[in-house]
Amino acid sequence: MKVLLIDDHPLILTALQKVIEGIGTHVSVVGANSAKAAREALAADAEGFDLMLLDLRLGDADGFDLLIELRNAWPAVPVVVVSASDRSADVIRSIDLGAMGFVPKRASNETLQEALHVVMQGGIYVPQMTMSSEGESAGAGDRRAGDPSNFAAAHSAAAMAAFKLTPRQTDVLALLLRGLSNKLIARELNLSVETVKDHVAAVLRALGVNSRTQAVLAVSQMPGQGGIAPWPPRPSN
């Protein structure tokens, strides 16, 4: 596996390289200390990278702007944001823009390795957060990844009890957490697309959120649950 690591702080770049290389014997890391260096590395070997890690604070570019650029230009390569920020607003925005994960730099080495493992299996990683009115996260703690295949069933059952979802809404939520579009959910449950849309809207209202991204984050932050969701970041309608 070949990883592109984009971070403009030399010490952080070196430390993260060692952590990532510790994932396995066949892992190589290419460091880029700027957006320009990242573009040059990708231009030289775009097909060779399996994963990109991105710091949001770069000297020559806005991290969110670069995230959009990377997702548009190389949509097949997952991007994980590794940031000194752990603001819930930054987590939500990163996932909305297509990141497959968000790992605070204060997280443990083990947490980062677990998160990258989940992302490479097609999952999405978000940190445990306590939402506040200012959009900050407070009291967030590192969580070890559990089995991502258990997320949809376990979390939808918990959500059913916590948010008083109906059995059908619980079915819809489980499939939504797996990243299925409304059309695929309709096919899976033998329902019309319009009926699925109604159920999705009801689930979002019950969770008190306005989007699928926020629904995933809301369920992942439920008490006693981990921060791992096997869910593609931007499913279609």
Q: How many CB atoms lie within 10 A of CB 11?
A: 8
Q: What is the pLDDT of residue 157?
A: 58
Q: Which tens digit of pLDDT belongs to each residue from 166-196?
A: 889 888 888 877 667 788 899 999 999 999 9
Q: How far apart are CA 35 and CA 63, in angstroms?
A: 9
pLDDT of residue 167: 87
CA–chain centroid gap for 9, Å, is 23
Q: What is the mean pLDDT of residues 55-64?
A: 92
CATH 1.10.10.10 fits 148-229, yes or no: yes
- What mean pLDDT is predicted for residues 125-135? 54
pLDDT of residue 150: 42
Range(s) within the chain of domains with CATH label 1.10.10.10: 148-229
Assigned CATH topology for domain 2-125: Rossmann fold (3.40.50)
CA gap 237, 183 in Å, rounded: 7
> pLDDT per residue over 213-234, tens digit each?
777 777 766 654 444 444 343 4
Residues 166 and 157 sit within 8 Å (Cβ to Cβ): no
Lowest mean pLDDT among 36-40, 63-67, 99-103: 99-103
Mean pLDDT over the full length of the chain: 78
pTM: 0.66
Residue 231, Cβ density class (10 Å: 0-12 exposed, 13-18 middle, ≥19 buried) = buried
What confidence category does residue 3 fall into, taking pLDDT thresholds of 50, 70 and 90? very high
For the chain, the C-alpha Rg in angstroms (whole number) is 18
The residue among 118, 107, 198 whose CA lies nearest residue 151 is 118
